[in-house]
Amino acid sequence: MLKIYQSNNMDFLLKKICKKILLHKLENIFPEEAFLIQNNYIKQWLEINIAKHNNIYINIKFFQISKFCINILKLMSKKNTLSIFNIEHLQWILMSIIHDTRDCIFLKEAGVLFNSFEFCAHMANIFRQYIIFKPDLIYTWETKKENNNNYKKKEYSWQKKLWILIIKKIKYLKQKNLTEIINSFLKNIKRDNNLKYIPKNILILSHAPLDPLMYFVLYSMRKISTIYLFQYQCNIKPDKQVDYLYQFFKKKSFLLNRRKKNKQEIIKKKTFLMKKIHKKF
């Protein structure tokens, strides 16, 4: 189950967090509480305020959201390394590609100055951002499905060809592309021998919308873990971003078998200016 609490009042979110932690500790005090955060400043703030509010601070382990989700993907894909998530790996793969100028004719035709380390470093960072923020774009490149007109722009043409060359190099290194990683994740996540890697209860405090790939991983875990997402949002109309993320993961894109949505799987509660709105979807 995935429960989402949204508010522009941080004290309200803190009280909800402390209440959930106390409830879990009453059930069983020994297991560690998995708490996902976006930076270490939030960690320090939570440690101080949870201790003040609950008069106790025990067995709470913090993880950065991105690292936690990528580690879950890594465990479920059954590979020791994941080159596509590592910028340094992507840089070296790109350098090996531009070393053979015969493979880079399309870059020259597009007017791209590619024969430098700066180009490799820049493109490695760009592709890393695509993986995290536009996984559906990478999916269309890897499966050769053009289902979004926004991704037919001229600037994506040579980038797509370059990514295909990267995938060929990754295959030579016996690694998986993003689509294969996601499919392995969806296939293996429910196996009994993998459940030990996934916490039963996960709390998340976010002051910005979650990255699409991270949201997808957490959304896929909702039937295995009880996930509480506490989102601090300053505006009073945050629905567009949340709805976009939800609609993104209803696509066929990484889903092995499309299933009917269970309305009880996600509960969204919003509180803005202390006016409570309860929604279920």
Q: Are residues 52 and 88 in the same domain?
A: no
Q: Is the pLDDT of residue 243 over 50?
A: no
The pTM score is 0.75
| Residue 275 located in a structural domain | yes
CA 165 to mean position of chain CA atoms: 25
Closest CA relative to residue 44, chosen from 57, 29, 28:
57
- Using the predicted structure, report yes or no on whether residue 253 has a pLDDT greater than 60: no
d(CA 259, CA 273): 37
For 138, phi then psi, to 5°, come to: -60, -40
Assess whether 89 and 167 both reside in one domain: yes
- The reply to whether 86 and 171 lie within a common domain is yes
Taking CA atoms, 251 is separated from 128, 228, 247, 256, in Å, by: 22, 23, 7, 11
**Of 125, 140, 175, at which residue does a domain stop?**
175
Asked whether residue 191 is assigned to any structural domain, the reply reads no
pLDDT at 242 over 60: no
Q: How many CB atoms lie within 10 A of CB 179?
A: 18
Lowest mean pLDDT: which of 12-26, 31-45, 208-222, 241-255? 241-255
pLDDT value for 140: 87
Q: Under DSSP, is residue 31 helix (H, G, I), strand (E, B) or coil? A: coil
165 and 84 inside one domain? yes
Query: Is the residue at 152 inside a domain?
Result: yes
Report if residue 180 sits inside a domain.
Answer: no
Q: Residue 98: which pLDDT band, with cuts at 50, 70 and 90? A: confident
Residue in this structure with the two tokens 């967090």, named with its chain if needed:
17
At residue 277, does pLDDT exceed 70? no
Residue 194 lies in a domain: no
CATH number of the domain that 93 lies in? Answer: 1.10.10
218: domain CATH number? 3.40.50.10930
CB-CB contact of 271 with 9 (8 Å) = yes
Same structural domain, 88 and 167: yes
Burial of 12 by CB count in 10 Å (0-12 exposed, 13-18 middle, 19+ buried)?
A: middle
Residue 188 located in a structural domain: no
35-49, 138-152, 204-218, 220-234: the lowest-pLDDT one: 138-152
Distance from C-alpha of 114 to C-alpha of 98, rounded to nearest angstrom: 7
Same domain, 171 and 205: no
CA distances to 36, 103, 165 from 168, in Å: 34, 12, 5
pLDDT in tens, 174-196: 888 888 888 888 888 877 677 77
> What is the Cα 140 distance to its own chain's centre?
18
Is residue 232 a contact partner of residue 10, using CB atoms and an 8 Å limit?
A: yes
Domain region containing 221: 2-75+199-280
Q: Is residue 166 part of a domain?
A: yes
Task: Identify the burial level of 241 via C-beta atoms within 10 angstroms of its C-beta, where 0-12 means exposed, 13-18 middle and 19 or more buried.
Answer: middle
Residue 145 shares a structural domain with residue 87: yes
Q: Which residues are bridge partners to 168 per DSSP?
A: none
Report yes or no on 265 lying in a domain: yes
Please tell me the distance from the alpha carbon of residue 24 to that of residue 32, in angstroms, as a whole number: 10
Residues with Cβ within 8 Å of 152's Cβ and at least 6 positions away in sequence, in order, are 146
Shared domain check, 112 and 131: yes
67 plus 89 within the same structural domain: no
Of 64-68, 89-93, 236-240, 275-279, minimum mean pLDDT range: 275-279
Mean pLDDT in residue range 15-29 = 76
As a whole number of angstroms, the distance between CA 99 and CA 122 comes to: 16
Residues 70 and 85 in one domain: no
Q: What local confidence, expressed as pLDDT, does residue 276 receive? A: 41
User: What confidence tens digit (pLDDT) does each residue in 152-179 have?
Assistant: 566 678 889 999 999 988 888 888 888 8
How many domains in the chain? 2
Same domain, 88 and 170: yes
What per-residue confidence (pLDDT) applies to 27? 60
- How confident is residue 74, by pLDDT bands cut at 50, 70 and 90? confident
Both structure tokens of 239: 């629905």
Residue that is last in its domain, among 175, 207, 242: 175
Rounded-to-integer distance, Cα 179 and Cα 131, Å: 10
State the Cα angle at 190 between 262 and 227, rounded to 5°: 55
Q: Are residues 87 and 166 in the same domain?
A: yes
